[in-house]
Structure 1
Amino acid sequence: MKIIVCIKRDLEGCIALNYVLKHIASHEYHVILSDKFTATERQIKESADFIFYERDLLIHQIFPLLEKNDKEEYLSEYLTFNQIKKKYNIPVVISDDINSNDWEKYIRNINPDIILSIRNDFIFKKNIIDIPNLGIYNIHPGSLPEYRGVYAPFRAMFNGDINVGCTLHKVDVGIDTGPLIGIKMMPVDYSKSVLWHMCQLYPHGIDLFEQLLLVYKSQKRIETFPQDESGKRYYTFPTSEEFKRFCRNGLKLIDNQEYLEILNRFGS
């Protein structure tokens, strides 16, 4: 299959992309990175600090350093985006607007069978949704429809949930509203940070996507389930006060030791 992976240019996105390419082989991959942040995300201190560690520090300092020392052996568990491009010999490009005419043309020229969206910053419009033969599927780091919107792992911890979910669903013109393929749950570990949970969640959704591809390969009917609208809730970006309350409750957005352990998996 020709598969386009639309994914965010940050730590969680990089880990998820590594997992896709290691566990779902034998396909033709094209990667489109999104690299968009709102003014609100940059203005709230707690959010800006989070972005610094999950994106800015990596893209501007750590990844270039790893690539400078790169001997092209690629023995580490995780590779940077540029290392992925070299090792797997696949296109890795950055989009400023996935729905624009230029990007629509780019995607049509690939003629993908399927598009996989993971942490993608853009809401797909109908002109893009209609391109792939088998549709667009999104991996959402929360249970749908209870945790539509952004920062679902943060919200689950904020609400004191026992478990947090990762959902695979087909994309329609709404936001996190498409029919469900499946949801995998994992326990919330309140000794761990939000970043740790986000890094752990996406592989569960990727496993669901792998199972979906096997069903397509067997030419069996794809079972989808409509979302129960009675249980829907849409979360917007957390406010500064919500971030502060989260931390006052003894919860962590990022833990330094966890962060270093993750970076060590990229090698040195």
Structure 2
Amino acid sequence: MRIMVCTERDVVTCTALNRLLPGLAGHTVMVAFLDPGPVDLSSGSPLRASDRVEREVFPQRVLDPLDRLPAPPGALLSFGHLLRRYGVPFHALDRADAGDLHRTAAAFAPDVILSLRFGRLFREPTLSLPPLGILNTHSGALPAYPGLSAHAHALLDGATGLTCTLHRVDAGIDTGPVVAERRLPFDRTRSILWHLPALYTLGAEMFLEALPGLAAGRLPAARPQERAARRYRSELSAEQALELERLGFRFVAGRDVDELAARFTGTATGGTSAACGIRTFDRAVPGPVPRTSAGAGALEGHRP
């Protein structure tokens, strides 16, 4: 079976790909990713500071240097080492060219597409391209939490755990039938960022559970969403993010960044958060991070 994975190039998806790609052995796979680009911190939202750690700082300070090593030093593999170990081509999508996604998908001709924290909507004719459809991993329960920042909205509403939902993609936004969902207990001694790799790894596992049926040409069973229960969520505002902090939640914490880095580097030095400008239990991530030569374009150039 031909499987196309659409994702973004950040530490959360890299962790989930470490679970997903080994389970896709025997299938023809390609990964198409968007480089998230620079994060705007001007709103003062702690959510933006967390986004910057996972999308800019961690990839550039941890993942990109690991790509240049001859062998992976830790339990988790960086993007370049995932590509080399599993022989999966990675294609960098052009963020400025909306048609690049369809051209890439049409050229690959997938049987199914998995959207793994992918920051772009699927429209026709891409929606009708894969015979087995498109499945999406969503960071909230459906139909209660469609839209952006679903996990954070749930916490703001008093949830004691996070939910990852696997659903079919249709012409709406998070409106397709639900295939499966998994719940992740929330540890209040940890930051929100610390939970996200595990949350999306649950999404990867749900797709792998559906894989045997998909490989046999069967669409996974799914329940339609109750439309009356839907309440679309926009991206968490700066005020809502600050309210979460007032409730005792932290978006990012130094020890959590260090622990995650150690899973990739194999060393628990505790220096990653300091190099990233993060003080323990502090959301501040000051100063610009220069782009490195081992970014998205360099990754696309690797071929097994």
**TM, length-normalised to structure 2:** 0.81
Q: Which of 135, 138, 142 is the matching residue for 1:137?
A: 135
How many angstroms apart in 2 are the aligned matches of 1:54 and 1:8? 11
- 1:109-128 Cα distance to aligned partner (Å, 9 max, x none): 21111100011010000111
Which structure carries more helix by proportion? 1
- 1:220-268 Cα distance to aligned partner (Å, 9 max, x none): 5631110011211211111111111111111110121111111111125
**1:98–1:119 distance in 2 versus 1, CA, 3 Å:** farther
| 8 Å Cα contact 1:153/1:197 also seen in 2 | no
Question: Higher relative CO (CA 8 A, sep ≥ 6), structure 1 or 2?
Answer: 2
Name the residue aligned to 1:195: 193
Tell me the SS of whatever aligns to 1:79. Answer: coil
Percent pairwise identity: 29
Name the residue aligned to 1:59: 59
How many angstroms apart in 2 are the aligned matches of 1:50 and 1:138? 23
How many angstroms apart in 2 are the aligned matches of 1:89 and 1:175? 33
Name the residue aligned to 1:114: 112
Tell me the SS of whatever aligns to 2:165. Answer: strand
Name the residue aligned to 1:128: 126
How many angstroms apart in 2 are the aligned matches of 1:232 and 1:226? 12
How many angstroms apart in 1 are the aligned matches of 2:109 and 2:216? 21
In structure 2, list runs of 5 or more residues that go unmatched: 267-304
| 8 Å Cα contact 1:157/1:190 also seen in 2 | no
Tell me the SS of whatever aligns to 1:262. Answer: helix
Partner amino acid for 2:52?
F
| 8 Å Cα contact 2:16/2:198 also seen in 1 | no
Q: Give, in angstroms, the shift of residue 76 of structure 1.
A: 2.4
**1:65–1:37 distance in 2 versus 1, CA, 3 Å:** closer
**TM, length-normalised to structure 1:** 0.91
- 1:65-101 Cα distance to aligned partner (Å, 9 max, x none): 2233x123x3522111122222222211221249844
How many angstroms apart in 1 are the aligned matches of 2:65 and 2:24? 28
Name the residue aligned to 2:222: 224
How many angstroms apart in 2 are the aligned matches of 1:132 and 1:102? 16
**1:42–1:121 distance in 2 versus 1, CA, 3 Å:** farther
Matched, 1:153 2:155: no
In structure 1, list runs of 5 or more residues that go unmatched: none
Tell me the SS of whatever aligns to 1:149. Answer: coil
**1:221–1:50 distance in 2 versus 1, CA, 3 Å:** closer
| 8 Å Cα contact 1:99/1:124 also seen in 2 | no
| 8 Å Cα contact 1:180/1:227 also seen in 2 | yes
Q: Give, in angstroms, the shift of residue 51 of structure 1.
A: 2.2
Q: Give, in angstroms, the shift of residue 217 of structure 1.
A: 3.6
Q: Give, in angstroms, the shift of residue 4 of structure 1.
A: 0.6
Structure 2 matches for 1:154-173, cutoff 5 A? Answer: 154-173=152-171
How many angstroms apart in 1 are the aligned matches of 2:143 and 2:97? 25
- Count of residue pairs the alignment pairs up: 265
How many angstroms apart in 2 are the aligned matches of 1:156 and 1:93? 33
CA RMSD after TM alignment:
2.1
Q: Give, in angstroms, the shift of residue 61 of structure 1.
A: 2.5
Name the residue aligned to 2:302: none
How many angstroms apart in 2 are the aligned matches of 1:114 and 1:245? 40
Name the residue aligned to 1:20: 20
